[in-house]
Amino acid sequence: MTGLWIALGVLVLLIFMAIGVYNGLVRARNETKNAWSQIDVQLKRRHDLIPNLVETAKGYMSHERETLEAVIQARNMALNANGPKEAGAAEAALGTALNGFFGLAENYPDLKANQNFLSLQEELTSTENKIGFARQAYNDAGTAYNNKRETFPGMMFAGGFEAADMFEIENAAERAVPKVSF
């Protein structure tokens, strides 16, 4: 009789542990998903800021039409990109275009004194930083999730859980937090 009770107790304990492990995996996966959506939030914010920036700069930088158009074009490309790979390339191109723009803006003291431009510049700097930090956070969450998924006891449930892709940027320098140099 006591043996039966002990067996039953062990079984209940095992079920509870399994539930705990499964829930832990779900939680880690949701955290990874959430971290991924955080990157999208920041990328969208960058797309939203750029038209205002170009609009503000237009009046001061009428001779730099090409640069401004390049920024707008890169932004539209990034906006309409399909799939993560294309989006990654388009976002990188947008970063480069913005860098070029802010480099040129250095030559326009009037523009640099414009309050509107200054606050947009702060917003864009911060958004660039946030994109970088969000990518780092995604990689951290993804690594934790993958570790859970691949090690015992989580591996027993791994069938229903897909591995998270890590953020890899070809350019090693961009792996660190990308900062726009103004």
User: Which chain residues interact with other proteins by CB under 8 A?
Assistant: 35, 38, 112, 119, 122-123, 125-126, 129-130, 133-134, 136-137, 140-141, 144, 172-173, 175-177, 179-182
Cα R_g (the chain), whole angstroms: 24
CB of 126 to other proteins, least distance (A): 4
Q: How far is the CB of 100 from other proteins (least distance, A)?
A: 15
| Residue (52 or 76) nearer to other proteins, CB | 52
In contact, 131 and 39? CB cutoff 8 Å: yes
Minimum distance from CB of 178 to other proteins (Å)? 8
Q: What is the DSSP string of 112-139?
A: HH-HHHHHHHHHHHHHHHHHHHHHHHHH
- Complex with other proteins: residue 38 or 146, whichever CB lies closer: 38
Nearer to other proteins, 23 or 126 (CB): 126
Considering the complex, state which of residue 70 and residue 134 has its C-beta at the smaller distance from other proteins: 134
Q: CB 81 → other proteins: shortest distance, Å?
A: 23
The number of CA neighbours under 13 Å toward the Cβ of 54 is 21
Residue that is written with structure tokens 């890169």 in the block: 74
Min dist CB 113 to other proteins, Å, is 11
User: DSSP state, 106?
Assistant: T
Spatial CB neighbours of 172, under 8 Å, sequence gap ≥ 6: none
Q: Report CA-CA distances (Å) from 87 to 32, 36, 46, 48, 77.
A: 19, 14, 14, 16, 8
Q: Which CB atom, from 62 or from 181, has the smaller least distance to other proteins?
A: 181
